[in-house]
Amino acid sequence: MPNIKSAKKRVQSSRANNERNKAVRSALRTAIKKADAATASKAEGASEAVKEAIVKIDRAAGKGLLHKNNAARKKSALVKKLNKA
């Protein structure tokens, strides 16, 4: 446990950031799974699900949760699946 005041503050802020990142990451994974399921079943709302997933991917990359190349790869894979379906 930290004894220095600034270290205590860092523990609090890193805990808050961790919770926020966990929520964003969870929402991202959910959106990607929904988009994959929609494209696999060739549902009518597949393009909307993919658009929503792409927005979540961009948001996560902007917050530093994903590397920009990782985000680009995920988006590319989703669009390929959509075009194939």
Write the pLDDT tens digit of every residue in 55-82.
999 999 999 999 999 999 999 999 999 9
* pLDDT of the residue at 44: 87
Q: pTM of the full predicted structure?
A: 0.85
Q: What mean pLDDT comes out for the span 37-60?
A: 94
Give yes or no for residue 85 having a pLDDT over 90: no
C-alpha distance from residue 5 to each of 16, 17, 64 (Å): 17, 18, 27
Asked if 83 and 77 touch (Cβ cutoff 8 Å), the reply is no
Task: Tell me the pLDDT band of 33, cut-offs 50, 70 and 90.
Answer: very high
Token pair for 11: 């523990």
What lies within 8 Å, CB to CB, of 53 at 6+ separation is: 28, 31, 32, 34, 35, 78
CA separation for the pair 47, 17 (Å, rounded): 32
**Going from the N-terminus, what domains does the chain have, and what CATH number goes with each?**
5-84 (1.20.58.110)
User: For position 61, what pLDDT does the model report?
Assistant: 96
